[in-house]
Each structure stands twice: as structure tokens, then as C-alpha cells.
Structure 1
Amino acid sequence: MSCTSVTKSSEVSETDSETSYRRRRHPYNTRSSNKNLNARQVHTTKKLNQSRAINECLPTRKLNRKQGIGDSRLEEEDDPAMDYCFDPCETPPRDRRPSFCSFLLGSFYLLVFGGMLYMIYAQYLMNQELESIREDVNKVRGGNKKEDPHAKLFKELDKKCSDTLKLLLKDPVGRPDFALQSSGGQVIGVNTVPYSNPTTFLGFKLCEGAHSPSSMIQATASPGECWAFKGHRGSAILQLIDYVLIDSVTLEHIPHTISPSGTIDTAPKEFKIWGLESPHGRRHLLGQFKYESEGGTVQTFTTNNNSGYYKYVEFEVLSNHGNKDFTCVYRIRVHGTARKFA
């Protein structure tokens, strides 16, 4: 269907509507009807002129005659512009080719992206340069003087000496000792025979029996400063400074390196810790432990006590590390939580 046919059908429909309008008018009102008729004719003429102008602007389909076998026929040639001739109000599609403004906008985006990449790369180069400058400055500050090859060794020795002094000056366990004599602890009972004759080796006293059992709850642990008793079995009852929930004990002995005999065969080996309700009351076993000769001079053992607070503790030695004459106890510590601080 062509655009011209659409226009002609619109003209016929408007003429029919005008004729029907005339017939509907009253036959006696001829003057008013003539005026209205003239006005409508003018309006109709304007509309026809507008439709003709639109039809002239719209493209038409081309008709090609093709010869068939025995007859002739008309074939319409497709025109791309006819795709929108049926809707005069629709505007034809714009040209899809990139315009000059699109080219400028794309170039602007490309320049911005390239500038950002350049700034990132420039920042990276600047950081590398600053790092190299710092290294050169550090070399200039400390590189002019020739480094002493023994300086590092002296620093390491100084550090080791200072660490050793700090270790000697402070308690190696780092926990409160509720049996310490200077804090109020006491030895209130001993069940063993004291060793009275001191043992000497090259003029040095290995263990002096004149020392009382309170030596084992003092803060000193020098060679010979111990509680010595005959044989390898013995026990002592300690009074703590308060009722304590005992969670561990620590046994200390001198190392074999500073022992005049070169051994620690007088050190306790197997021992038990008992919790007492009173000095001669019921006993509760808190654990049986073993002091290892190669385990270090200060060894801590965890007890099996969950809820009992005790002010009295019995320290029972069952054996030593091989000495048949006597046993030396240098220091025993009791750790836990006091009842008033629980």
C-alpha cells in the first residue's frame, strides 16, 4: 500500500463526512447552513493542502513491470525510506556514523586515562629514586669509618653478660613463694637424722650439716648452703604464710658445673608433696615427682590440687641421685593462690 493511496482515502472520508453533515442540517435554516458550509469548506481545503504537502515530502514506492510467462505483473521495489511512510509523525532515523563531537569526546577520555597512567608511573619512579637516595645517605653516615671486625663480638658478649646478671639478680621462676622464710614461712618439724659431719673436697665444703632445715626456704642457693640429712630418705613440715590453693612446687639444686665434686649425686630424686589440715592432722597427697639431673637446676612440678587450701605442707624425699651417705636440699618453693586474694 502506497502513501498516495493513504492520502486519497483520507480525502474521500472527509468529503463523505461533510456530505453527511449537510444532510443533517435543517432545510429551513439555509443562511446559517451556508455560512457553516463555507467555513467547513475552508477548513477542509486547509487540511487537504497539508496532506498534499506531506505526501510530496514522503517517498513513494517504485513499480517495476516484469514480464512473466503468459502474463505481465507489477512488482514493487523495496525502498528503505518506505519503512516509515505510514507514520508521517515519526522522524526518520539519524545517521549512525560517528560525528566530530563524538570523536572529540573519545579523544578527551583517552587523554584523561593516559594522564592517570603517567601519574602512577611517575609516582613509582619517584619512590624508587627516594629509596636509592636514603640508601646513599645511610652509606655516607656510617660508611666513612672502617668497621671494627671485633665490635660485633664485643656487643654479643656484653649482651650475654648483662642477660646473665639479670638472671642471677631476679628469681628464675617469676612466681610468689609462699614458703619463703623472709616472707613469713617456717619449718616446724623434721622427720630425719641430720648430717652433722661436713663433707669436704680439696678444702671446699660440699654440704655442712650445721645448717638448719630453714636453709631450704631461704633465697640463697650457694654451694654448701643447704639442708643436709643422713641417707636418702627424710621429710620436713613447712608452715606457709597463709592458706594457699597450691598448684605447683619448685625444687632447686646447684648445677654440676659449680659443684666442687662435679656431680649432683646428693640432690633429691623422687619426692612427694602432702597438704596438711594441721601440723599433725590429716594428709592429702598433692603429687609425687622426680627431679631430673639433666633437667636444669630449677624444676617446677604441677600438683593435683583443685579446691584445697592448705597452710601446712610436708616435703618428703624418697631417694637421691646416688649418694649413700647424705642428701642435700638447697631450696623448695610453694606456688599457688592465697585464700584472701582468691
Structure 2
Amino acid sequence: MLQLKKSFKVFILLVSVALGVFCGTALSEWSPWTKELLEKMQSVFPSGRTAFWNSHTLIETQKLQNLLEEVTQLRAEISTLKELSQIALDPCVRTNWALKSTGATIDTQRTSQTYDCKDSLPCRILRFFWAASPPDTILQPKVFPGNCWAFKGHQGQVVIKLPARVYLTAITLQHISKDASPSGTIVSAPKDIAVFGVDTEEDTEEETLLGMFTFNVEKNPTQTFPLKNMLLPRAFSHVKLLVKSNWGNPWYTCIYRVKVHGKMENQKDLTQGQDK
């Protein structure tokens, strides 16, 4: 019964305010009513309950903000997945232009030097069992522990001369998994990488940034990344892979295999190289 009386008081207060606004009556003209109704309102809604209402509102607002942030992040992830799914369905991705057997080569003049094993004590110990592989190792299909090209430190680059001018759409980087590694770690794997399309004519050289990505060692050892080949697609004769960091090895970084995907500028130049 008490709760019913309080509800009725609230109803009367709301009706009174509505009538005052509707009729254009100033609150000062019916201040006795206002004062009495406000006092009754305070008895119906104690200060503690008002504080609870404000606190509850803030919590709900924060939850809504967090939800909006999650939605934004999910939209970005979905967009990336769409790009990758389109690449996976693209027949150009099944074509690998970075195969030595179809004419791809390494531009050694613009490629980092191969790591010399004598620069680190662990490597010197294993030197009798492990020989340095040349840069064109990354252009061959055989991937097994130790069969990689290594350069000194965590920063380096390799420039691949393609067998034809290609409209580049994606690049694939392949490493071994932790399970396949004799040490159980793959800290020598590249991490942050930038890809450039390169054009060389006589003494001039022009580079165009096509994408930056991170090779995640916690994911599949073979990872494909879409490239942004400008608003107007352009064909390139070379691809430059710039490694900016690795996953923690202080002495060297290993690249096992690189695949370059895209469509040839002139289909009559060369039969498309199919990945083996």
C-alpha cells in the first residue's frame, strides 16, 4: 500500500509539471506546489537511490563504448579476411613468380650479404654440420629445417628479379614451424616486413611501397599477405622484401621461402610459372 501511495505521488508530480509546461505557466507562479511536490519527490527517491541510478548509467555507458570498440575491431578483421578470401580464390595466387625453375633470380647487388657463421659462438660450434645457403634458396620449393637463407642481424633485404613484368597482388612467406625446429623455437624468423615493387631502367631505379605486414610465428608457417598495387595497377620487374625486425635472434634472420603472386603484364612473354 505504501509503495502504491509513492507511485501515485510521482504520477501527480509529473502531471503537474507537464500541465505547467503545456500552459506556459512559470514555475515561480506555482512555487508552493513545486516546493511541496519536490519534497515529496525526495521522499520517494532518496539520495542513495539517485546515486545508484547515476552509477548504473555510467556503467551502462562504459559497456556500450566497449561494445562499439569491439564492433570496430571486428569490422577491421572481417575486411582483412575478405581480402584474403578473395586472394585465395584468385587464380593469380596459384601462380608463383618467384620460382628459380621458371626464371626468377636474386639481384645480389641489392641484396644483403649472406650471414657468416663465424660471427657467433653457437654457430661456430655447429659450423661443421651446417653450411650457409645462398639467397636463391628462397626461390626453391624444398622447405626443411636449416634450408634457409640467413643474413646478419635483424634487418636486411632481398631483391628478386621476376621472369616477366607482373601486376603484383600478394606475397607469401614460408617458414618452418616450432614443432619442426630442432631447438623448439623460431626466433630467427622475420617479423616486420615491407614489400616494394621495383623498376630498373639503365642507371635509374624506382621503388613503390606495396604493403607492410607482420609474419606471426604463432600462426600457420605459410602466410599470404595482400598487396596494394596503387589505384591504377602497375607491373614491376623486381620485388624488394625489406625485413625490419625478427623474433629475437640477435645474430641472424632466416628466410625459408618467398612466393610472389600476380598477373603477367604481357601473357605472350612467358608461360605462367605454376608453383610446385
TM range (shorter): 0.5 to 0.7
The CA deviation at 1:331 is 0.3
Number of the residue aligned with 1:310: 236
**Does 1:225 pair with 2:144?**
no
8 Å CA contact 2:188–2:247 kept in 1: the answer is: yes
The CA deviation at 1:191 is 3.8
Q: 1 CA distance for matches of 2:223 and 2:209?
A: 19
**Does 1:292 pair with 2:216?**
yes
Q: How does 1:134-145 map to 2 (within 5 A)?
A: none
**Does 1:254 pair with 2:173?**
no
Q: 1 CA distance for matches of 2:160 and 2:238?
A: 6
The CA deviation at 1:211 is 1.0
Number of the residue aligned with 1:130: none
- Out of 246, 253, 267, the position equivalent to 1:341 is 267
The CA deviation at 1:182 is 0.8
Q: 2 CA distance for matches of 1:311 and 1:191?
A: 16
Change (3 A) 1:266 1:319: same
Task: Please give the per-residue CA displacement for 1:239-282, whole angstroms capped at 9, x wherever unaligned.
Answer: 11111100000000001101011011000001111111117511
**Does 1:243 pair with 2:169?**
no
Equivalent residue letter for 2:106: V
Aligned residues: 168
Q: How does 1:88-127 map to 2 (within 5 A)?
A: none
Q: Partner of 1:182: helix, strand, or coil?
A: helix
8 Å CA contact 1:209–1:227 kept in 2: the answer is: no
Number of the residue aligned with 1:184: 103
- Which has more radius of gyration? 1
Q: 1 CA distance for matches of 2:93 and 2:241?
A: 21
The CA deviation at 1:204 is 7.2
Q: 1 CA distance for matches of 2:267 and 2:208?
A: 23
The CA deviation at 1:296 is 0.7
Task: Please give the per-residue CA displacement for 1:274-306, whole angstroms capped at 9, x wherever unaligned.
Answer: 111117511000011100011111000000014
Q: 1 CA distance for matches of 2:208 and 2:179?
A: 37
Q: Partner of 2:117: helix, strand, or coil?
A: coil
TM (norm. structure 1) is 0.46
Aligned-residue CA RMSD in angstroms? 2.5
The CA deviation at 1:339 is 1.1
8 Å CA contact 1:245–1:339 kept in 2: the answer is: yes
The CA deviation at 1:208 is 4.6
8 Å CA contact 2:93–2:262 kept in 1: the answer is: no
- Give percent identity, aligned residues only: 34
8 Å CA contact 1:196–1:208 kept in 2: the answer is: no
Q: 2 CA distance for matches of 1:339 and 1:332?
A: 21
Equivalent residue letter for 2:196: W
The CA deviation at 1:216 is 0.8
8 Å CA contact 1:274–1:314 kept in 2: the answer is: yes
**Does 1:194 pair with 2:120?**
no
8 Å CA contact 2:162–2:239 kept in 1: the answer is: yes
Q: 1 CA distance for matches of 2:104 and 2:93?
A: 18
- Out of 219, 240, 254, the position equivalent to 1:328 is 254
Q: Partner of 2:219: helix, strand, or coil?
A: coil
8 Å CA contact 2:93–2:261 kept in 1: the answer is: no
The CA deviation at 1:194 is 2.2
Task: Please give the per-residue CA displacement for 1:128-172, whole angstroms capped at 9, x wherever unaligned.
Answer: xxxxxxxxxxxxxxxxxxxxxxxxxxxxxxxxxxxxxxxxxxxxx
8 Å CA contact 1:192–1:233 kept in 2: the answer is: no
Equivalent residue letter for 1:197: C
- Out of 131, 137, 143, the position equivalent to 1:215 is 137
Change (3 A) 1:186 1:211: same
Q: Partner of 1:215: helix, strand, or coil?
A: helix
Change (3 A) 1:209 1:326: farther
Equivalent residue letter for 2:112: T
Q: Partner of 2:266: helix, strand, or coil?
A: helix
8 Å CA contact 1:216–1:331 kept in 2: the answer is: yes
Q: 2 CA distance for matches of 1:209 and 1:228?
A: 11
Q: 2 CA distance for matches of 1:284 and 1:292?
A: 24
Of 215-224 and 277-286, deviating more is 277-286
